[in-house]
Amino acid sequence: MNLLMCPVCKTGLALQERTWRCENGHSYDVAKQGYVNLHVVQHKHSKNPGDTPESVQARRAFLSAGHYAPLQQAVVKKIRELRIENLLDIGCGEGYYTNAMQAEVMQCVGVDIAKNAVQAAAKQNKQVTWIVGTGATLPVMDQSIDLCTSLFSPIPKEEILRVLKPKAYLLVVTPAPEHLYAMREALFEEVKQHEPSKFAEQLSDCFNLLDQQVVEAPMLLNQADLKNLIAMTPYAYKAKPERRQALEQHDQFELTAHYQVFVFQKH
pLDDT in tens, 148-197: 999 999 999 999 999 999 999 999 999 999 999 999 999 999 998 899 98
In a domain, 237, yes or no: no
- Residue 235 annotated as lining a ligand binding site: no
Average pLDDT on 114-120 reads 95
Distance CA 138, CA 10 (A): 10
Distance CA 134, CA 136 (A): 5
- Residue 35 annotated as lining a ligand binding site: no
In a domain, 202, yes or no: yes
In a domain, 171, yes or no: yes
CATH number at residue 134: 3.40.50.150
- Residue 26 annotated as lining a ligand binding site: yes
User: Do the beta carbons of residue 35 and residue 118 sit within 8 Å?
Assistant: yes
Distance CA 63, CA 55 (A): 12
- Residue 22 annotated as lining a ligand binding site: yes
Residue 174: φ, ψ to 5°? -140, 160
Q: Report the number of distinct structural domains present in the chain.
A: 1
Distance CA 230, CA 246 (A): 12
In a domain, 227, yes or no: no
Distance CA 59, CA 225 (A): 10
- Residue 97 annotated as lining a ligand binding site: no
- Domain residues for 205? 33-179+190-216+253-266
In a domain, 44, yes or no: yes
pTM: 0.94
